Chains A and B, each alone.
Chain A
Amino acid sequence: MIFLRVWNYFIGYLVIRVDGLSLEKFINLCVSRGIKLWGIRRISYTSLNANIGIKDFKSLPPIARKVHAKIRIMNKKGFPFILYRFRHRKMLLTGIVVFMTTLYVLSSFIWQVEVVGTLKINPDIIYSNLEKKGIKPGAYKGKLDTWKIENEMLIEIPELSWVSIEFKGTKAIIRAVEREKPPKLLDAETPCNIIASKDGIINQILVLEGDALVEVGDTVRKGQLLVSGIIHHEDMETIRYVHAKAKVFARTWYEGRGYGDIRDVLKVRTGRKVTHKVLETKEWEIDIDRKDIPFDEYEVEEREEPFLGISKLGWISWTIRDYYELTTIEQGDGMDLAKEKASERAMEDAFKRIPKGVKIIDKTFKYDIIKDTGYDAIVYIEVLEDIAEQVELLTN
């Protein structure tokens, strides 16, 4: 029903008044000729109001003559009549056209470039590379061959293993995946030694080529020679240089430190937040989105974003303040939480140094209580890893 109404409004209709004596006959005649009437209301014995489509109205006069009725247009409703009213307002039309074209033209440029997914590489490298290729704020989108640019980027930035460029409106989103750097490999012919890359206790040693100098259970220090590439043949008095190859698994230790402050954990975010947006320049600021903060306790996170995504407009920017509601937990729980937090942080700290793909054997925590303020945690993680490192042997 609502659809019908919208449709009627769109194509336009007339509100008519029919005056006459045999109005029922008028209605019947209309119906039999396929003229649609709706919203019929009898005003008095001799008159009624009805709605009728624009096209059908033209075929009304013969019917009206037949039943001796008089028809008057009371009102014109709908979109076509609004258009008709604006037919002399040329500037309005120009304005609409100008607005549409401006919108279209502006939306065919890039106004914002965003790089996602970089971890180790400085995104600036990607930004400057993109700029060279024409992806920068203010560039025309239509002429950019993203497929070609992606390929060129992969060649020019060796740290990338995959990249995709996507346009979302006026924003160019560049998704990048970094390549893991392959370890330096020595040529299989070059004579070399194997040394320890870390301190540890040897757990397992597998020599494929070379002369093992250490045994299982030995404690080795970083840089210590593990497998020698120089092989003495005592009975023949000759020396042979080989490309030593071995897997040396050793137990190594990593240490991580963390501190859990009771003040951090006593106040917990409840998940509710209120955001204020402020448009800021050096001289003034305008609140765009100011709401009352309904929280008793809260903390504020402030960040800046370029206005309209254009960093060139440096003098004007958004300041966005997120107010997070906080609640307080009891002291007793607080200490436990601080301890948890401290160990969590210590683990995080340790994991920063632990290489990928190693086996964790054991971990031990040590805590220091700092009275009324929190916990200091140290974690020792024992892992099993390959510490063999090939170094070239200088034969002369």
Chain B
Amino acid sequence: MKKKKLQTVKATVSEMFELPKEITLNMPKINLIGNNQMLVENHRGIIEYTPSIIRVNSTIGLIRVQGEELHLRNIAEEDIMISGDIKSIEFI
């Protein structure tokens, strides 16, 4: 309960000062270019990787990307770049 209150305070403060929320709230930032390139910043590792499904862990839960011929173009501590034919993105 207390944690949730802290989150809302953080959200209002960052809203007020126009601070980037992915830093203040520690959330993933997802960048999509069309349906063939996706950049996930601030991730917490990869859970599953097959050509048709990729599951990426993050602070707000799992991000599931489904598609065809998916591959990890780039992977570093901060970000993952997924390219391929992206069909759907879900937050579970």
Q: Which residues of A contact B (CB under 8 A)?
A: 23-24, 27-28, 30-32, 34, 36-42, 45, 48
A51 to chain B, nearest CB (A): 10
Q: A32, B73: Cβ atoms under 8 Å?
A: no
Q: C-beta contact mask, B44-78 vs A, less than 8 Å → 1, else 0?
A: 01111111000000000000000000011111110
Contacts of B75 in A (CB 8 A): 27, 30-31, 36-38, 40
Q: How far is the CA of A53 from the CA of B2 in the complex (A)?
A: 46
Using CB atoms, name the residue of chain A closest to B74.
Answer: A38
A46 to chain B, nearest CB (A): 11
Knowing A36-B76, A40-B75, the reply to whether A27 touches B46 (Cβ < 8 A) is yes
Further contacts, 6 of them, CB under 8 A, given A23-B49, A38-B73, A41-B71 = A27-B46, A27-B72, A27-B75, A31-B76, A39-B72, A42-B50
Q: A31, B74: Cβ atoms under 8 Å?
A: no
Closest 10 CB pairs of A and B: A40-B72, A28-B45, A41-B71, A38-B74, A24-B46, A42-B51, A37-B75, A27-B46, A24-B49, A31-B77
Q: How far is the CA of A340 from the CA of B34 in the complex (A)?
A: 66
Q: B49, A31: Cβ atoms under 8 Å?
A: no
Contacts of B71 in A (CB 8 A): 39-42
How many residue pairs link A and B with beta carbons under 8 A? The number is: 44
Using CB atoms, name the residue of chain A closest to B43.
Answer: A31
Q: B76, A28: Cβ atoms under 8 Å?
A: no
Using CB atoms, name the residue of chain A closest to B45.
Answer: A28
Q: How many residues on the B side are at the interface (Cβ–Cβ under 8 A)? A: 14
Contacts of A40 in B (CB 8 A): 49, 71-73, 75
Q: How far is the CA of A40 from the CA of B51 in the complex (A)?
A: 10
**8 interchain pairs (CB within 8 A)?**
A23-B49, A24-B48, A24-B49, A27-B72, A30-B75, A38-B72, A42-B50, A42-B51
B26 to chain A, nearest CB (A): 17
Q: How far is the CA of A42 from the CA of B48 in the complex (A)?
A: 11
Contacts of B74 in A (CB 8 A): 38
Q: How far is the CA of A289 from the CA of B50 in the complex (A)?
A: 56
Q: How far is the CA of A27 from the CA of B75 in the complex (A)?
A: 8
Q: B45, A31: Cβ atoms under 8 Å?
A: yes
Q: How far is the CA of A45 from the CA of B50 in the complex (A)?
A: 7
Q: How far is the CA of A25 from the CA of B41 in the complex (A)?
A: 19
A70 to chain B, nearest CB (A): 18
Contacts of B45 in A (CB 8 A): 28, 31-32
Using CB atoms, name the residue of chain A closest to B71.
Answer: A41
A290 to chain B, nearest CB (A): 47
Q: How far is the CA of A334 from the CA of B34 in the complex (A)?
A: 63
Contacts of A23 in B (CB 8 A): 49
Q: A24, B47: Cβ atoms under 8 Å?
A: yes
Using CB atoms, name the residue of chain A closest to B70.
Answer: A42
Q: How far is the CA of A299 from the CA of B75 in the complex (A)?
A: 64
- Of the candidates B47, B50, B77, the one whose C-beta lies within 8 Å of that of A32 is B77
Q: How far is the CA of A34 from the CA of B75 in the complex (A)?
A: 10
Contacts of A39 in B (CB 8 A): 71-73
A267 to chain B, nearest CB (A): 58
Which of A28, A32, A38, A42 neighbours the largest number of chain B CB atoms within 10 Å of its CB?
A42
Q: How far is the CA of A41 from the CA of B76 in the complex (A)?
A: 16
Q: B51, A34: Cβ atoms under 8 Å?
A: no
Q: How far is the CA of A30 from the CA of B46 in the complex (A)?
A: 11
Using CB atoms, name the residue of chain A closest to B69.
Answer: A41
Q: How far is the CA of A34 from the CA of B76 in the complex (A)?
A: 7
- Of the candidates B47, B50, B77, the one whose C-beta lies within 8 Å of that of A34 is B77
Contacts of B47 in A (CB 8 A): 24
